[in-house]
Amino acid sequence: GESVGLHLPTLSVQEGDNSIINCAYSNSASDYFIWYKQESGKGPQFIIDIRSNMDKRQGQRVTVLLNKTVKHLSLQIAATQPGDSAVYFCAENDADSSYKLIFGSGTRLLVRP
């Protein structure tokens, strides 16, 4: 069940390696950012979020880095597992409407066994 377009950038990593997924956001006034994971045929699943008063936040096996200077967000996944294979989206809040998330186009992560 495809859920996103066929022209997604794809990151292929070896199982056990670390993965870094990057995202450039558009609005310098955005102050809340989220990473979602979407597996085939499922809805997006929350991974981790970060507010603009922070530049790093860690979760279980995941770290989000925020560089406001260059409007860049990254998601680091440690010891990548086959179950991490999915499409990953970053999202930023719309500064004009703090209730609306603007999603990036997504990156497909493929984990090689």
Partner 1 sequence: DSGVTQTPKHLITATGQRVTLRCSPRSGDLSVYWYQQSLDQGLQFLIQYYNGEERAKGNILERFSAQQFPDLHSELNLSSLELGDSALYFCASSVRDYNEQFFGPGTRLTVL
Identify which of residues 7 and 70 has a Cβ nearer to partner 1 in the complex.
7
Q: Are strands 107-112 and 10-14 parallel, antiparallel or unpaired?
A: parallel
Tokens of 42: 């499922």
Tokens of 31: 């102050």
Q: CB of 4: closest distance to partner 1 in angstroms?
A: 7
Binding site for partner 1 (CB under 8 A): 1-6, 32, 34, 36, 42-46, 49, 89, 91, 93-94, 97-106
Identify which of residues 65 and 102 has a Cβ nearer to partner 1 in the complex.
102
CA 79 to chain centre: 16
Q: CB of 68: closest distance to partner 1 in angstroms?
A: 18
Q: CB of 64: closest distance to partner 1 in angstroms?
A: 13
Q: List strand residue ranges (DSSP E) for the chain, in order.
A: 10-14, 19-24, 32-38, 45-51, 56-58, 62-67, 72-77, 86-94, 97-103, 107-112
Distance between CA atoms of 82 and 80, rounded to whole angstroms?
A: 7
Q: CB of 35: closest distance to partner 1 in angstroms?
A: 11
